[in-house]
Amino acid sequence: MKVFMIGSTAYQDKINKYAEELRKEGHEVLIPVFDSWENATVLEILTENRRLMRLADEVHMIYDGRSDGTKFDFGMCFAMGKPLKIIYTNDKHLVDGMYEYEASL
């Protein structure tokens, strides 16, 4: 399975640890949040994330309520109808809708 990881950069260690567990199980993991985009525009980054998310079988999320990029990526996940697996959250405003979406699939 191909997994697209979204989440807050503050949780890089947690994301990398989780991704390594998935890779040990034989999954391919895409983590664009850690890619280097020195000269890219925001639109270029969003476009590339959309392209990669389309290739994924599932979206997995580690989120703490601080990352606007994660909110945007969740919106793309929702719009594409991708399965979502929430690995970690500590915030409950938008997250309530994310859990409801996950449960509805």
- What is the reported pLDDT for 65? 75
Residue 28 within a domain: no
**What is the tens place of the pLDDT at every residue in 23-50?**
999 999 999 887 777 888 989 989 999 9
CA distance 9 to 96: 21
Residue 96 within a domain: yes
CB 104 within 8 A of CB 98: no
Residue 83 within a domain: yes
The number of distinct structural domains making up the chain is: 1
CB 89 within 8 A of CB 36: no
Residue 69 within a domain: yes
Residue 48 within a domain: no
CA distance 70 to 95: 11
The parent domain of residue 66 ranges over 54-105
**What is the tens place of the pLDDT at every residue in 74-88?**
999 999 999 999 998
Residue 11 within a domain: no
Within 10 angstroms of residue 100's Cβ, the number of other Cβ atoms is 9
Residue 10 within a domain: no
Residue 67 within a domain: yes
User: What's at 39, amino acid-wise?
Assistant: N
